[in-house]
Structure 1
Amino acid sequence: MTVMSDSSGDAAFTPAERETIRERLVAERAGTSARIAALNREFDGIVAANALVAVDDEHDPEGSSTAFERAHVASLLAQARDHLTALDEALERLDRDDYGRCAVCGERIPAERLEVRPAADTCVRCAGARSRSR
């Protein structure tokens, strides 16, 4: 993905690049939606299986508790839903011509970062500062 400069000296994507970005975001969104559906089925299966048997979750000698499995799948579901939201927001930024611009400092996000994290809304420096402040 290359970045072109417009007449103001500000970086912008060409129409072909924008279409490639849109296709990538839409494909990742479809994959994330499929993952959410699969995790929902897995979560429902854990709940249904647990309802069918009398389980002493705390003292199960066979291994991990169903409560842990349920919590693990719920955590994966939350992450996938957050990622889906981030992808939707990235598509909105693309429509507004704000895609690839850091939401904190306003600088362009390097193409390499967008290649790895296409829904990124911050540059590496601002993302690092954000995580350190938490």
Structure 2
Amino acid sequence: MDPRELLAADRDETLRRLASLTDDYASFVAASRDTNADDEHDPEGATIAFERSQVGALVGQARRHLAEIEAALARVEAGTYGTCEVCGRPIGEGRLEARPVARTCIACASRPAP
């Protein structure tokens, strides 16, 4: 499949997920306004705070993934998509199918961070 199509589909799915998560987050914020502000003594308060924190983290993750998709699309336009940013060798087709935003080949991704 063409990388542009794969990345566009990934972007569309991520945008849908982000919209849903943003709605969920707004619901949790509204719910926390309507409940007791003392989460420590309110059995529901801790749950709302936890859920809001979890959804907030997922929103951040979706936004970072969108940035990765945009960077991958820029690499497609620049003609560097599919080339490892560390060693310069081609990134395997299977890796790009599984992770279209991959910047490195499997060998370089497997190396421990310095």
Taking structure 1 as the reference length, what is the TM-score of the superposition? 0.77
Which structure 2 residues correspond to residues 23-102 of structure 1 after superposition, within 5 A?
Answer: 23-61=5-43, 65-102=47-84
**Percent pairwise identity:** 45
Alignment CA distance shift 1:86-1:52 (3 Å)? same
Q: Distance in 2 between matches of 1:73 and 1:53?
A: 18
Stretches of structure 1 that go unaligned for 5 or more consecutive residues are 1-16
Q: Distance in 2 between matches of 1:124 and 1:63?
A: 44
Q: Distance in 1 between matches of 2:105 and 2:81?
A: 12
The alignment partner of 1:122 has SS state of: coil
Alignment CA distance shift 1:75-1:64 (3 Å)? same
Q: Distance in 1 between matches of 2:66 and 2:35?
A: 34
Question: What's the Cα RMSD here?
Answer: 1.8
Stretches of structure 2 that go unaligned for 5 or more consecutive residues are none
Q: Distance in 1 between matches of 2:107 and 2:14?
A: 27
Residue 58 of structure 1 deviates from its aligned partner by 2.2
Ranges of 4+ aligned residues in structure 1 off by more than 3 Å = 59-64
Give yes or no for contact 1:58–1:65 (8 Å, CA) kept in 2: no
Give yes or no for contact 1:35–1:80 (8 Å, CA) kept in 2: yes
Q: How many residues align?
A: 114
